[in-house]
């Protein structure tokens, strides 16, 4: 049963604390990456058989498999995928940055080019659940950014095929290549390349602890979006919210993973007790009851504060992945929120709306990293190159200043490279 606590009884850094298994993930992942680098596709096929229980002859999803998946998918789901994709495109198109040029001083031109990466790799989880929503959220910003080739990796099902819903989403999003491989081995393949899978410039997408650790270890060889931990939700509520709605929203994250964290911070002890009872009532109706119960019992909390302002302070201190403001006049509090991955305003905006249909991205910073990082966006798939042009006359005006500055740093060759041109001009 979820715990009810007074704010004074728990430190902020313990609010999203988790009960985690003691496994040497770092060492295991390091070995997997080394094996993939050495043995390529052979290692990928061996790990797929070992971890997924599937013996494959090839890794790439064929055109026939794509057509079969589309034919298998319900028309209503295809319609919803298209609607979600439209909303995601609309939101992320507004994020596109433009190159710029500055030419307000005679003889000087400066500028910045915004350039998409050449190849992006998307990791889409497959383990305890399939996530076609992640396909849309990760691929569409890459396509908007102008990435030349978008590659997806995802674990196969027991029949050796990829979940049809994932392939349908990949078709809607316009993904170029899809491979049946998951786990740390998939990340290694994207980072270093194998006979079948070309190496990419950027890897994005959530995964389990092994996937997160693999992304951490290959960073530098490639760019990554973030080191994502288990899902988390923080709900800040006043006393006027419906306890059924709050319980449902908490459980929507708890069912993701046994390590997920669902936390309510409210200013009413009576509401806290009613939400606790509702959670118990609703748990029994969930298909993933066992997972959700483990999450709630081990990592869930209801924290009672003296005021809403104190609850807002708690939210800023722990920087949650998802933050719901279930309060009257939620926009009055929005400017006070400084650290959160994605904010859901009001009593009619469940976090699940953001997972699937609203448009803002659902790949979000976790474990307090919203203090310094952002949701996945078009920016994640671009890089910037700057350029500078000076005429001889323009250089003459600043060369002595460059020389002086360089000598202050003891770099006489720097200094000479500027003033030597003055000698040539004479």
pLDDT digits (tens, 9 = 90+) for 53-71: 999 999 999 999 999 999 9
Beta strands in 139-254 (DSSP E): 149-154, 177-180, 202-204, 223-224, 232-237
> What pLDDT is recorded for position 425?
64
Distance CA 395, CA 105 (A): 12
**Active-site residue, selected from the candidate residues 322, 324, 362, 403:** 322
Q: Answer whether 44's CB lies under 8 Å from 181's CB.
A: yes
Which residues in the chain come in under a pLDDT of 70?
12-14, 16-22, 127-129, 424-426
273 is catalytic: no
> What pLDDT is recorded for position 19?
58
Model pTM score: 0.92
Distance CA 173, CA 154 (A): 15
pLDDT tens for 199-243 read 999 999 998 889 999 999 999 999 999 998 889 999 999 999 999
Classify burial at 332, counting beta carbons within 10 Å of its beta carbon; exposed 0-12, middle 13-18, buried 19 or more: exposed
Does residue 236 sit in helix, strand or coil?
A: strand
List the end-to-end C-alpha distance of the chain, in Å, as a whole number: 84
> What pLDDT is recorded for position 127?
58
> What pLDDT is recorded for position 229?
83
> What pLDDT is recorded for position 208?
87
Distance CA 376, CA 394 (A): 41
**Active-site residue, selected from the candidate residues 321, 324, 351, 403:** 321
Give, as one character, the DSSP assignment of residue 61. P
Does residue 79 sit in helix, strand or coil?
A: helix
In whole angstroms, what separates CA 369 from the centre of its chain? 11
Backbone angles phi, psi at 132, to 5 degrees: -60, -25
Q: Answer whether 270's CB lies under 8 Å from 278's CB.
A: no
322 is catalytic: yes
């Amino acid at each position: 049963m979820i715990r009810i606590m007074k704010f004074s009884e728990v430190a902020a850094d313990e609010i999203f604390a988790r009960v985690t298994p003691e496994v040497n993930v770092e060492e295991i992942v390091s070995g997997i990456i080394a094996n993939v680098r050495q043995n390529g596709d052979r290692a990928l096929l061996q790990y797929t058989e070992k971890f997924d229980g599937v013996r494959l002859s090839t890794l790439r999803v064929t055109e026939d498999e794509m057509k079969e998946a589309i034919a298998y998918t319900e028309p209503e789901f295809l319609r919803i995928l298209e609607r979600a994709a439209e909303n995601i495109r609309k939101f992320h198109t507004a994020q596109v940055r433009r190159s710029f040029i500055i030419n307000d001083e005679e003889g000087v031109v400066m500028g910045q080019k915004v350039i998409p990466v050449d190849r992006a790799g998307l990791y889409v989880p497959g383990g305890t659940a399939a996530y076609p929503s992640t396909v849309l959220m990760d691929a569409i910003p890459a396509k908007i950014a102008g990435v030349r080739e978008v590659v997806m990796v995802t674990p196969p099902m027991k029949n050796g095929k990829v979940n049809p819903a994932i392939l349908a989403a990949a078709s809607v999003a316009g993904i170029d290549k899809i491979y049946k491989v998951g786990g740390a081995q998939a990340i290694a393949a994207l980072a270093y390349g194998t006979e079948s899978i070309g190496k990419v410039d950027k890897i994005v997408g959530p995964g389990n602890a092994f996937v997160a650790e693999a992304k951490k270890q290959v960073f530098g060889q490639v760019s990554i979006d973030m080191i994502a931990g288990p899902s988390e939700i923080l709900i800040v509520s006043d006393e006027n919210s419906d306890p059924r709605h709050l319980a449902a929203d908490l459980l929507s994250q708890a069912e993701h993973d046994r390590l997920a964290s669902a936390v309510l911070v409210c200013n009413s002890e009576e509401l806290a007790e009613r939400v606790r009872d509702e959670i118990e009532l609703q748990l029994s109706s969930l298909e993933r009851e066992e997972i959700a119960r483990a999450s709630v019992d081990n990592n869930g909390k209801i924290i009672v504060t003296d005021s809403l302002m104190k609850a807002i302070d708690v939210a800023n201190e722990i920087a949650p992945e998802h933050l719901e403001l279930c309060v009257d006049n939620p926009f009055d509090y929005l400017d006070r929120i400084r650290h959160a991955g994605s904010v859901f305003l009001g009593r009619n905006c469940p976090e699940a709306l953001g997972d699937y249909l609203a448009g803002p991205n659902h790949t979000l910073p976790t474990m307090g990293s919203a203090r310094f990082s952002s949701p996945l966006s078009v920016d994640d798939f671009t890089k910037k190159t700057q350029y500078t042009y000076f005429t001889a006359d323009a250089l003459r005006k600043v060369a002595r200043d460059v020389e002086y500055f360089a000598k202050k740093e003891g770099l006489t060759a720097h200094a000479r490279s500027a003033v030597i041109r003055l000698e040539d001009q004479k």
